[in-house]
Structures are given as structure tokens and as C-alpha cells.
Amino acid sequence: MRNTPADKQPMFNRRNLFGATAAGLAASSLAACATSGSDDEGGEVTVGEDAENPFGVDPAAPLNVVIFDGGFGQDYAVSHQALYKETFPESEIEFMATQAIAETQQPRFAEGKPADVLDNSGASQIPMDALVSDGELAELTPLLDAPSYDDPEVTVRDTLRDGVLEAGTFNGKVYALNYVFNAWTIWYDAKLFRDQGWTPPTTWEEMLALCPTIQAAGIAPWTYAGQHPVYLYDMFLMLAGRHGGAQVLKDIDNLKEGAWSNESVALAAEAMHGLGEAGYLLDGSAGIDHIQSQTAFNNNEAAFLPCGSWLPNEQRAIAPADFEYAPMGVPYLEGSAQPGLISAGGDEPFVVPKNATNLAGAYEYLRIMLSKEGSQIFGDTVQATTVVKGVELDNPTAKMTNELVSNPDDMFQPQFRYWYTKMNEEVRPALGQLINAETTPEAFIERMQTVADDTAADDTIEKFTHDD
């Protein structure tokens, strides 16, 4: 079985999440659940009567914030910290922006000295299933039930767009605030398509019919981040979900017996396999990373690129001035039951460790992030859609993305790669081999069904389910 470079990234599961730390760490610190130096019952923060300081933040208490320095950068976080300092000028904020989240933060969890606020994102994300199952995260109900920053008569929960909490919810409890409203789409250059007289395809058949024309213009139809084939995850699952409906994807997440053998999943596997078999991938795609694939896309070396809605912001410093980012849904297969289905909702998970030193300050920092001013700062800075309702962004990419997600009934975020580390580790190389026609659709299905069955049968793995 061939491994891609992405498979060499450090990953952690429940058994080894805290096993890679210095040998001198006390065993008691690994199991600690107490916060803010309180007793073992947890020292939980409750919502008080003061609408301006509902969590009772100590104005002089320091705050430690760690941000993933990826497609959204760190400028927005610096601005959020300035807002926090306006309210609590005595507080000293220790701030770090890094792409090495697991490498830098996993040892801190093991020592019982985690950050107060952690943006647990990126390729080196600490697996959420491990953090939740091991009791390392504070539940965010106090934040959601608190008065919103702008209107004490409205709770924080009621300021959020529909569906954005689902990705951070584990068996009914919210452990992550996904701060970005993201949609996984297929991107194309509207100017290129306009100049060439090409119509963006809506169906898989239309896309396949267009591919030879694209090749005749000296352009590869598709590319993707081969070193990180997880970029194919939502594309593949939306193919299956659009054909059979969202329940097909819920069954996969819920580890339902035989879910991977569903006809719609099989057809999606055949379709993905067909791209590589027909030679529709940019040469060398299997070996490039996300920056290289995005650069090739910007250079019109490939016409289609699967990626999230952060792409224009991530590339704005290097994309050609006349490049026109345009998103479209995954072209759907013939006979699709839910052709408008899209993977969209909350993304970029911010968590509060249960053992945070300044738990109240962490909740307040997130409350400020969810204010209209905080959300506007984020949206304007990174040109991405916010999870807070009523924040208008004056950029065409956000507007086009919003059009794709105009129907809440067509939004669904597949979760198994967040819920089950073992399945996440398996699906990455499996998808890469599938799209490059290095394995058969049947072998892919068998491989994923096997790991799903193994996960379901493993009593040491905590199980999570969607609420139907």
C-alpha cells in the first residue's frame, strides 16, 4: 500500500495523544481536568448578572491565545486582542501564531498548562475526538447562553447562523466554536471561462464533456493538493451525498453497517477514479502540496481546484490581478436526489481547554470575537464569511459563496474524519490513490468499509452520532 507525503504528518489518537511528552511529566498532570487551579470538580464558569462582564473576568488576569497561522493569517487575531485590551487594559496577552498546532500545543495539554484560547486548526490539528474523549476541553454552553456583546437581551447562541455549531458538537455538547462560515467548493477562474467561452458545468456529465475542450486549450482540467488528499474529502462525499441525499453521509458518520457499500458512494468512487483514468489531472498533482496546486491553478495550468472558501484570501498576495475566483458546487451525477447539497457550516475550531488558567477570560475573548465589530473585523480582514448573522461583506467571493449556501436544508458537514482519527488517517491516502486510478473503486470501498467496521467494533473508541 503506497503512502503519500501527507501520511507522514504527525497524528495523534486517544492512545498516544499524551504519550509523546517528556518522560518526567507526572501522571497526575495527564489526567488533570481541573481548571484555574480549582479542585477536581472543574471550577466551571457560570453566567452572572453583569451583562458587561457575564463571566466575572479578573481584569488583571493574563490571557494566553494561540492561533493557527494559515489561510486567514493572524491580523484579525491581533485586532481581536486589541478589543479585549480595551475592556481589560490591565491584562497582558501572550500571543502565538503557528502552523505547528499539535507539535507546540499537545505537550502543553500533557503538562496541564494549555493555552486559554486555542485555534485548533490546520494540517497539524490535534484530533478533536481525542481532546473530547479525554476530557481536555471545556464545554461552551456558558458562552452560548451568555448575553451577546452587542445586545444583552439576545444570547450569543441566537446571534449565530443556523448550523454553525454542529461541527463542534459531540453527542449534544458543544466543545468547539467554529468561527468561520466555510463552504467546500470547486473553484474556477471566471475570466478564463469567459474568455474561452466555457460554461461552468453543473452536472458531472457536463464537466466530463468539457474536459477535452479544456485540454485542447493546453490546460489540465483538474488539480488538487496531492500531498494533502484530504482536500478531496468533501468533493467525494458531496458527489455521494448529492446523488443519494444527506442521509447517505449521515450513515457513514454514524458507522452504520454497510454504509460505504451504498450505491451512491460506489458511483462517487467510480466518478473520482474516472478523472485519473481519463488523464484529466494536471501532471504531477499527486506529489504537490496545497500551495503548489493553488499556484498552478492561479497560473491557469488547471481549470478546476477543490478547496474551501478561504482560498481567495490565502492567495490574494500572489494571484494575478485579473484572476477572478468563482466557486461552484460539485458537479452532480445523473439521477441525483439532492443536487444542491453542499458541505458548508462552521469551520476553524476555537476551543477552550478545561485546564485553562484564565477560563473566564477565554469565554470573554470568544464573546468579543462574536460581537458585530469582532466579526466585521474578521470578515473584512480575510474576505471570508462570518458565522454571526447580519454581518455584510463587500466582496464578490463572499457573495457568491453565500449564494451557494442560500438553502439551509442543503447544507451538511460530514464529520467522520473529525470524530474518528483512524478513519481520517485511512481516507486521506485512499482518496489520493482513488483519484489517481492507482486503486479500483471496489478496493477503495472495501478499504473504507473495513476501517469503519473496525472503528464500530472497537469499544475503546467513543462513538458520536448525528441527531436525526
List b or e across 132-151, with b for residues whose CB sees 16 or more CB atoms inside 10 angstroms. bbbebbbbbebbbebbbbee
For residue 383, what pLDDT is reported? 78
Q: How far, CA to CA in Å, does 281 sit from each of 11, 147, 201, 284?
A: 28, 50, 17, 8
Residues near 113 by beta carbon (within 8 Å), at least 6 away in sequence = 355, 357
- CATH 3.40.190.10 given to domain 183-344+418-457: yes
| DSSP string for residues in 190-244 | HHHHHHHTPPPPSBHHHHHHHHHHHHHTT-EEE---TT-GGGGHHHHHHHHHHHH
Residues of the chain with CATH 3.40.190.10: 5-181+346-402, 183-344+418-457
For residue 13, what pLDDT is reported? 43
CA 199 and chain centroid, separation: 30
Nearest to 347 by CA among 22, 43, 68, 4: 68
8 Å CB contact between 84 and 65: no
- How does strand 302-308 pair with strand 220-222? parallel
- The DSSP 8-state label assigned to residue 439 in this structure reads S
Nearest to 14 by CA among 126, 137, 171: 126
For residue 43, what pLDDT is reported? 59
Cell 480575510 sits at which residue?
382
332 three-class SS: strand
8 Å CB contact between 269 and 252: no
Residues near 286 by beta carbon (within 8 Å), at least 6 away in sequence = 4, 226, 432, 436
For residue 313, what pLDDT is reported? 78
Would you give the end-to-end CA distance of the chain in angstroms?
37
H helices, E strands: number in the chain? 18, 10
The pLDDT profile of the chain, 468 residues, written as one tens digit per residue, is 333 333 333 334 433 454 443 333 332 333 333 333 333 334 578 898 899 999 999 999 999 999 999 878 899 999 999 999 999 999 999 999 999 999 999 999 999 999 999 999 988 899 999 999 999 999 999 999 999 999 999 999 999 998 889 889 999 999 999 998 888 999 999 999 999 999 999 999 999 999 999 999 999 999 999 999 989 999 999 999 999 999 999 999 999 999 999 999 999 999 999 999 999 999 999 999 999 999 999 999 999 999 988 888 788 889 999 999 999 999 999 999 999 999 988 889 999 999 999 999 999 999 999 999 999 999 888 877 889 998 877 776 677 777 778 788 899 999 999 899 999 999 999 999 999 999 999 999 999 999 999 999 999 999 999 876
CA distance linking residue 164 with residue 181, whole number of Å:
7
Q: Residue 393: exposed, middle, or buried by beta-carbon count in 10 A (0-12, 13-18, 19+)? A: buried
For residue 310, what pLDDT is reported? 82
- The DSSP 8-state label assigned to residue 353 in this structure reads B
Q: Which residues pair with 174 in a beta bridge?
A: 169
For residue 406, what pLDDT is reported? 78
For residue 316, what pLDDT is reported? 83
Nearest to 169 by CA among 135, 136, 129: 129
For residue 397, what pLDDT is reported? 66
For residue 72, what pLDDT is reported? 86
Grid coordinates standing for 345?
Answer: 457550516
CA distance linking residue 354 with residue 349, whole number of Å:
15
CA distance linking residue 371 with residue 217, whole number of Å:
48
106 three-class SS: helix
8 Å CB contact between 158 and 293: no
Cell 476553524 sits at which residue?
348
For residue 46, what pLDDT is reported? 87
8 Å CB contact between 184 and 311: no
8 Å CB contact between 384 and 216: no
Grid coordinates standing for 364?
Answer: 470573554
8 Å CB contact between 212 and 284: no
Cell 480549582 sits at which residue?
38
Give the global pTM.
Answer: 0.82
Please name the CATH architecture into which domain 5-181+346-402 falls. Answer: 3-Layer(aba) Sandwich (3.40)
For residue 468, what pLDDT is reported? 60
Residues near 330 by beta carbon (within 8 Å), at least 6 away in sequence = 185, 186, 234, 235, 238, 239, 242, 306, 342
CA distance linking residue 404 with residue 401, whole number of Å:
5
